[in-house]
Every structure is written in structure tokens, then in C-alpha cells.
Amino acid sequence: MTGHEPLRRCVGCGRTAPRRSLQRWVLDGSALVADPAGQLPGRGAYTCRAQDCYERARSRGGFNRAFRRAVQVPPTAPAGLESSENVHLDTA
């Protein structure tokens, strides 16, 4: 089967999307850090590249569930995430 891409689930909104279209996150100690290249080792969590999903995952404990521990999530999303309008526009 050609063109198959691994799918990952956004821990913010719960939608499933191709891994490369999502933002990967990893832990540095207990702190959440972005992994823009998707190459950092260890367990990863994914969200849409949207501020909304980051906020939702942070406020609802999505990151904690994904990593199965208490994660220190920065209150402000790192640069690089877009508004949800741009991200979700063509994926409804």
C-alpha cells in the first residue's frame, strides 16, 4: 500500500491526522518542549499545529494523560502554532 502515513491523535481535540501534519511534543525532564523536526527521542505526544489544541490539551490534562505523568506545560504555546482557523479549515 503506497501513500500510507502513520496516524496520530491530537491530545487537544482528539482528531486523528497524519503524523507529519501534527506538532510533536516531548518531555525535557518534566517540562513539555516542542519537537518541530519530530526527531527527539522518547515518548511523544501530538497536537494539531493550533494554539487552540495546545490550550485545550494544557487545560484539560491531555499532555498529562499522553505522558502518564504530571507535565509542566508552558502557559503560552511556543511560536509556530497557528490559529485553529488556519489549521482546521480544510479538514472538516
Residues that bind Zn ion (CB under 5 A): 10, 12-13, 48, 53
The Cα–Cα gap between 77 and 39 comes to 20
Nearest-approach distance from CB 92 to Zn ion, in angstroms:
12
12 or 44, CB closer to Zn ion?
12
Joined together, the cell numbers standing for residue 45 give: 505526544
Residue 59 CA to residue 79 CA, distance in Å, equals 19
Least distance from C-beta 41 to Zn ion, angstroms?
24
Nearer to Zn ion, 2 or 56 (CB): 56
Instruction: CB nearer to Zn ion: give 48 or 81.
Output: 48
Query: How near is the Cβ of 48 to Zn ion at its closest, in Å?
Result: 3
d(CA 49, CA 29): 23
Residues in the chain: 92
